[in-house]
Amino acid sequence: MSPVGPLLTATVFLPAVGALVILAFARSDRSVRTWALAVALVDLVLSLLVFSMFDRSDGAARFQFVEQFSWFSVDTFKASYLLGVDGLSAPLVALTGLLGICAILASWHVDVRVREHYIWLLVLQTSVMGVFTSLDLLLFFLFWELELVPMYMLISIWGAGRKEYSAMKFLIFTLLGSAFMLVAIVAVFLTPEIGTFNMIELSQAGTMLSGGVLIPLASLFWMFFIAFAIKLPTWPVHTWLPDAHTDAPTAASVMLAGVLLKMGGYGLLRINVGMFPDQAEQYAWVLVALGVISVLYGAVVTIRQTDLKRLIAYSSVSHMGLVMLGIGSIGITQGTLTSAGLNGAAMQLFTHGTITGLLFLATGLIYDKAHTRYIPDLGGVAGRMPIVATAFLIAGLASLGLPGLSGFVSEVLVFLGAFRAYPWPTALAVLGIVLAAGYILWMMERAFFGRPRERFADLTDANLVEAAPLVLLVITIVGIGVYPALLTEVFEIGLEPMIRVLNGGG
């Protein structure tokens, strides 16, 4: 048991308990909102405690706040309730808590089936927290699948446009990836002399998977990879993302871009690199190729977009390609791998979550007040909505990698790590940053700083509730940009054991 009690269990399940309380006792829309905000605020505090109390000292345990007990046992089939965090997952737990409260505040003006909306948001937060803290493969898979239900509901009920189509497309793509993952998990467990779902044991140096398995290790690697590549998403399995983002409500877009996509990158690092280091190194060139294609394809298609949400969605495909490129930096001469590329990939998961979350929050406010996201119809909005425009501008500049903001740090680390292994593909990927500057600045000029439109003369800026999540994310983006060691040192602690194995250190 964790020395501070069941801290992770409380962090993971508090939102779900809050959802049950709202279901049972909240009678008015006001009480529903108040309960949801209180639960999200407490969960944010708990997630920040997990991050701040994580022991960074030399000699500290790799996995901390570990909670474990036998879940069920039937004959030789045994599964454990096993939670814990390391330097890789602790920052992502904090990210989930931060974006969780932002999603609650972004839903403050929802007036259709209010109780259900907040219940699904809280259940979604529990499922994502569970993915980032589970250290048992079966438990990991259950939390991974749980996320599908609330996100499907949020898009299909509170979305707009072709919301049913987009929700179903999201569900089908994710279920397809989950099918591959389940087969891989079962194959790992049924392998002779393994018989465990324990991810700590499976990722130790001299992994148990290095022996004989029911199916080739390369096949297991690719089964897990397909599931995580779809969720990331990477080209060519990315097509569900623009539709889901475009038609989702603001809160769902914030959670989808901010933390659900990060589940894919986290899975690649935790399982594909952590459990299959030899295969990850062998096929690193494939990851680099897919990453470069995603970066350039996403950037080129983004330039063509005229809908603000669709533009941000395709930019996410481009920026998630950097995660794949950073992970691919492990394809380097054995014994010389540094932490830069993997650290950059992990940093990109966090920084992109805050940046894109801020972009979707600002876009949602623009749509709520101007009733359009069509860029050619917007113009001069900054004069009417200075707070929203400032937040959008900061997020946009962070997205294109402006020094002093968080996006710059993660992108530089990715390029530093990947260039040593694959100089020419990395040089091509850098063009994505040039294109990002183009589409971000061009969009800002047309939507915010163009000629003011008479139809927007009565636009109002963000009020206190609407501005609060914007301020939270701006502070995070600027703070990490100014002092990146707050995250890089923690991520390095989590990634160091993987790097040691890849370098042949055992």
Task: Dump pLDDT digits (tens) for 282-318.
Answer: 899 999 999 999 999 999 999 989 899 999 999 999 9
Is the confidence at residue 249, as pLDDT, over 80? yes
* Average confidence score pLDDT of the chain: 89
Q: What is the pLDDT of residue 74?
A: 65
Q: Which two tokens stand for residue 390?
A: 């400032």
Per-residue pLDDT band at 8 (split at 50, 70, 90) = very high
Q: Which of 120-129, 159-168, 309-318 reaches the highest mean pLDDT?
A: 120-129
Distance CA 377, CA 365 (A): 16
Distance CA 209, CA 217 (A): 8
Q: What is the pLDDT of residue 69?
A: 87
Q: Kindly report which listed range (40-49, 121-130, 207-216) carries the lowest average pLDDT score.
A: 207-216
**What is the tens place of the pLDDT at every residue in 98-112?**
999 999 999 999 989
Q: Name which residue leads in pLDDT, 371 or 225.
A: 225
Identify the DSSP state of 328.
G
Q: Name which residue leads in pLDDT, 484 or 201.
A: 484
Q: What is the pLDDT of residue 206?
A: 45
Percent of the chain with pLDDT over 90: 65
Q: What is the pLDDT of residue 275?
A: 87
Is the confidence at residue 213, as pLDDT, over 60? no
By three-state DSSP, how is residue 325 classified?
helix
Q: What is the pLDDT of residue 70?
A: 81
* DSSP notation for 51-81: HHHS--STT--SSEEEEEEEEEEETTEEEEE
Q: Name which residue leads in pLDDT, 71 or 484.
A: 484
Is the confidence at residue 336, as pLDDT, over 80? no
Is the confidence at residue 477, as pLDDT, over 70? yes
Is the confidence at residue 361, as pLDDT, over 70? yes
Percent of the chain with pLDDT over 70: 94
By three-state DSSP, how is residue 458 classified?
coil
Q: What is the pLDDT of residue 146?
A: 94
**What is the tens place of the pLDDT at every residue in 392-414?**
999 999 998 899 999 999 999 99
**What is the tens place of the pLDDT at every residue in 369-388?**
888 888 888 888 888 899 99
Q: Which of 190-194, 206-210, 496-500 reaches the highest mean pLDDT?
A: 496-500
* 461-466 average pLDDT score: 90
* 22-31 average pLDDT score: 90
* 85-91 average pLDDT score: 95
* 11-29 average pLDDT score: 94
* 48-58 average pLDDT score: 92
Q: What is the pLDDT of residue 98?
A: 97
Q: What is the pLDDT of residue 334?
A: 54
Distance CA 11, CA 84 (A): 11
Nearest to 267 by CA among 211, 330, 323, 187: 323
* 260-270 average pLDDT score: 94
Kindly tell me the sign of the dihedral angle through the C-alpha atoms of 214, 220, 224, 229: negative
Q: Which of 35-44, 411-420, 434-443 reaches the highest mean pLDDT?
A: 35-44
Cβ proximity of 12 and 133 under 8 Å: yes
Is the confidence at residue 192, as pLDDT, over 80? no
Count CB-CB contacts under 10 A for residue 407: 29
Q: What is the pLDDT of residue 446?
A: 87
Q: What is the pLDDT of residue 331?
A: 77
Q: What is the pLDDT of residue 381?
A: 86
Q: What is the pLDDT of residue 198?
A: 80
Per-residue pLDDT band at 205 (split at 50, 70, 90) = very low
Where are the chain's structural domains? 1-204, 283-506
> How many Å separate Cα 199 from the centre of its chain?
20
* 65-89 average pLDDT score: 84
Q: Name which residue leads in pLDDT, 197 or 179.
A: 179
Nearest to 155 by CA among 263, 246, 234, 264: 246
Is the confidence at residue 96, as pLDDT, over 90? yes
Per-residue pLDDT band at 27 (split at 50, 70, 90) = confident
Cβ proximity of 399 and 472 under 8 Å: no
